[in-house]
Amino acid sequence: MIGYVTLGTNDLERAARFYDALAREMGAGRMMESDRFIAWGTPGGAGIGLITPYDGNPASVGNGVMVALAAKDREQVDRLHRLALDLGGGDEGKPGPRGGSYAAYFRDPDGNKLNAFVMAADGA
């Protein structure tokens, strides 16, 4: 259903280092790129993009907005959370069981909220 999600950034170079590392851990890479925009994903899959706002105003965090990254297993959830923190992200919830899933919550260096999760039997 979702083709891609775009988040704002005030420092594309710094944000790119963060998302390059997360994408690499998930087996994805850059799909599109310009001087103001970078998108990560895989052909035929959903993607995530970062952009400096077109209106010239500073990027800001959406209250209640979160991007969820589908991990392959609990270990990848743990690695993504640890990687995010090592890259300057903020902790929003350590990895653990969460009602039928196993998930971890964190923020990127711009303050955008993300989650890494796995569902099904491995997530309980």
Whether 29 and 19 have beta carbons less than 8 Å apart is answered as no
Sketch out the chain's domains with CATH numbers.
Answer: 4-52+65-118 (3.10.180.10)
What is the residue-level pLDDT of the chain in tens, covering all 124 positions? 678 899 999 999 999 999 999 999 999 999 999 999 999 999 888 899 999 999 999 999 998 899 999 999 999 999 999 999 999 999 999 999 998 999 999 999 999 999 999 996 654 5
Rounded CA-CA distance 79/58 in Å is 31
CA 107, chain centre distance (Å) = 8
